[in-house]
Amino acid sequence: MESLRQQLLKVRIMPVLIVQSEEEALSVCDALAAGGIHAVEITLRTAAALDAIRTVKRERPEFCVAAGTVRSVLDMEKVATAGVDFAVSPGFSPALSQAASELGLDFLPGVSTPSEIIQGSECGHQCFKLFPAEAVGGVPLLKALASPFSGVEFCPTGGIGPHNYRDYLALPNVLCIGGSWMVDPALIRAQNWARIEELSRECMSGAQLA
């Protein structure tokens, strides 16, 4: 099994997805794959999320599927049962970290301050989600964190789009970025799979240049 770091480094672009049904999740993933993206973070923000995670893992086994917006130990238990590759939280808590460890589930905790990074490191984490990335300092913050937190790496998410994602990917302490512009809810409602495919292809082309 690949380590969390290896998974993130391979992914580079992690679409952050809010889904309303299992069928919708499969259609979005097919459009992403057609554009060269084989990873998705399905957030626990709808009643359909857990079933969508199970379905994508079963029907599209080549996909790296993360569960996002994991906020409680119960959430962690549910996504582990659903078979996700790793869990993602918007914040950090020792309880979430311990639950993931006991479940044998890779966990990407969210941080926004040096103190949270230290707390997470004390629990054994070296990879973090910087959230909300743009609001808490973005690229300048990540550059400032590089020296005092040597060896710590990030997946920044929040406020990242086609205008700035390459700036993030160019940083040596960034493994991948999370974003939702290629899976915009308006495109999904319109079932504009061709546009999602096009945006995905553009993302991957840009990532190779970063």
Cβ pair 197, 36 in contact under 8 A: no
**Paired tokens of 10:** 């391979």
Cβ pair 64, 37 in contact under 8 A: no
Q: Which of 41, 134, 153, 197 is catalytic?
A: 41
Identify any residues that bridge with 41 across adjacent strands, giving them in sequence order: 16, 66
Distance CA 108, CA 187 (A): 28
Question: Is 41 a known active-site residue?
Answer: yes
Identify any residues that bridge with 59 across adjacent strands, giving them in sequence order: none
Question: Is 129 a known active-site residue?
Answer: yes
Contacts of 140 (CB under 8 A, 6+ apart): none
Q: Which of 22, 24, 129, 153 is catalytic?
A: 129
Cβ pair 25, 55 in contact under 8 A: yes
SS3 66: strand
Distance CA 25, CA 103 (A): 25
Please list the active-site residues. Answer: 41, 129
